[in-house]
Amino acid sequence: MGMTITEKILAAHAGLDKVEPGELIEVSVDFSLANDITAPIAIERFRQSGAEKLYDVARIALVPDHFVPNKDIESATQCQLLREFAVEHKLPHFYEVGRMGIEHALLPEQGLVLPGDVVVGADSHTCTYGGLGAFATGVGSTDLAAVMITGRTWFRVPASIKFIFQGNLRPWVTGKDLILYTIGQIGVDGARYRAMEFTGSVIAQLSMDQRLTMANMAIEAGAKNGIIAPDECTRTFVEERAQRSYQFYQSDADAQYEQVITYNVSEIEPQVALPPSPANSQPVSSLDEIPIDQVVIGSCTNGRIEDLRLAAQLLKSRRVAPRVRCLIIPATQAIYRQAMDEGLFTIFLEAEAAISTPTCGPCLGGHMGILAAGERAVATTNRNFVGRMGHPESEVYLASPAVAAASAVLGRIAGPEEL
């Protein structure tokens, strides 16, 4: 009996020929990361343990991205703690404002996380790197501290659910719509403790940016990891960036899946997930008129260059509706520069959108676009829980950059075809 891509990566990192779902294994970790919210606790645990050295300084990244540029004195203090730790241990991968990016956009871009890796991050959206064909999952700060010391961690091997996406994508339907639709079908715990393996002719045609978007939201279905088998698209993306060697794994034809789910994407419209759950996804055309106050285009889910190009395509020669604030947040410095060089900033500025330096900022209600009571936002982010972007009585609607841009122009939740 064969293995899935997830099982193969885990087996290889556990030094085993074969692993099965449910098995408890200890694996070596290729790369680990933490941010300005989770690293302070990990550093405290590291010090508490009495450890003096990290297992490998080149295999950890500390990325202050959530509350940066420092939003208040407390946040500045947290970033200071990371900075001092990075200096003390001579970490080569500490990213300061001006050189940073949102961690899950930055690390693939820098070639630090690669196909076939086991990546563990103190951030739940670490699962993003599954888009590259890596096993990547989020952990808490204490688990991360143990990884920082030993370079190893334990896992229960997850059973896999195979998703097959067939058919032809309709206009304006993106990876974001596919993942919102999927979570809507299976629920926020539909893949709890499971590996979500995205396959099919539609996935094979998706760009790397869109693959990363899909894997990013696996956690929103409760999954341990999301994964897409690497192919030529992956090779093209990683070969010019990789800072280490990497390996492509593929699921065997006779691999065992707990479930196989097939979707015909020809039936899928652009989606919107209504608050307060990412599983409340609906076709945008089915929604009544819902006026909005803010649009956020960015985040680890949809702040990459292709997302900005898509938004620009719709905002070109148009204007953000009066009384709507449209915030555009390129996810990394490189994306920021590229968007500028391509002239996207001119389009955004002429549309009267605001462009921000990279930050997670409003996605988690940190800063740079907080909502007041009763306010409503369309965001290309990943969570629409109660109070996620500000006041507990504000609302977040999740959508693709295309739906977000169209909504910004029309001042209500709208599909691109309405423009």
Partner 1 sequence: MKLSGKAWKFGADIDTDAIIPARYLNTSDPKELAQHCMEDADPEFAQKVSPGDVIVAGKNFGCGSSREHAPIAIKAAGVSCVIAASFARIFYRNAFNMGLPILESEEAAADVVTGEQLEIDLAAGTIVNKSRNLTYKAQPVPPFMQELVAGGGLIPYVMKRLDTSS
CA of 226: how far to CAs of 14, 127, 230, in Å?
A: 20, 6, 13
Query: Is residue 151 at the binding interface for partner 1, with CB under 8 A as the rule?
Result: no
Query: Is residue 53 at the binding interface for partner 1, with CB under 8 A as the rule?
Result: no
Rank residues 234 and 356 by Cβ distance to partner 1 and give the closer one: 356
Query: Is residue 277 at the binding interface for partner 1, with CB under 8 A as the rule?
Result: yes
Angle at 257 between CA 217 and CA 174, to 5 degrees: 30
Rank residues 6 and 234 by Cβ distance to partner 1 and give the closer one: 6
Query: Is residue 124 at the binding interface for partner 1, with CB under 8 A as the rule?
Result: yes
Q: Distance between CA atoms of 345 and 197, rounded to whole angstroms? A: 36
Taking CB under 8 A as the criterion, the residue among 18, 53, 99, 192 binding partner 1 is: 192
Taking the complex as a whole, the smallest distance from the CB of residue 28 to partner 1 amounts, in Å, to 18
The interface region with partner 1, picked from 3-11, 68-76, 177-185, 228-236 by CB under 8 A, is 68-76
Count the residues of the shown chain that bind partner 1, applying the rule CB under 8 A: 47
Taking CB under 8 A as the criterion, the residue among 4, 6, 75, 332 binding partner 1 is: 75
The interface region with partner 1, picked from 262-270, 292-300, 346-354, 381-389 by CB under 8 A, is 381-389
Taking the complex as a whole, the smallest distance from the CB of residue 96 to partner 1 amounts, in Å, to 18
Contacting residues for 281 by C-beta, under 8 A, at least 6 apart = 180, 181, 183, 184, 271, 272, 273, 274, 398
Q: What track of x and - describes contact with partner 1 for positions 209 through 248 (by CB under 8 A)? A: ----------x--x-x------------------------
Taking the complex as a whole, the smallest distance from the CB of residue 36 to partner 1 amounts, in Å, to 9
Q: Do 100 and 106 contact (CB within 8 A), yes or no?
A: yes
Which residues sit opposite 288 in a β-bridge?
none
Taking the complex as a whole, the smallest distance from the CB of residue 112 to partner 1 amounts, in Å, to 19
Taking CB under 8 A as the criterion, the residue among 23, 28, 44, 338 binding partner 1 is: 44
Nearest of 240, 193, 23, 225 to residue 117 by alpha carbon: 225
Query: Is residue 48 at the binding interface for partner 1, with CB under 8 A as the rule?
Result: yes
Query: Is residue 138 at the binding interface for partner 1, with CB under 8 A as the rule?
Result: yes
Taking CB under 8 A as the criterion, the residue among 20, 26, 56, 72 binding partner 1 is: 72
Of residues 300-359, those binding partner 1 (CB under 8 A): none
**Cα–chain center distance at 7:** 22
Residues at the site binding partner 1, with contacts judged by CB under 8 A: 37-38, 40-41, 44-45, 48-50, 66-67, 71-72, 74-75, 78, 121-124, 126, 138-143, 145-146, 188-189, 192-193, 219, 222, 224, 277, 364-366, 383, 385-388, 390, 392
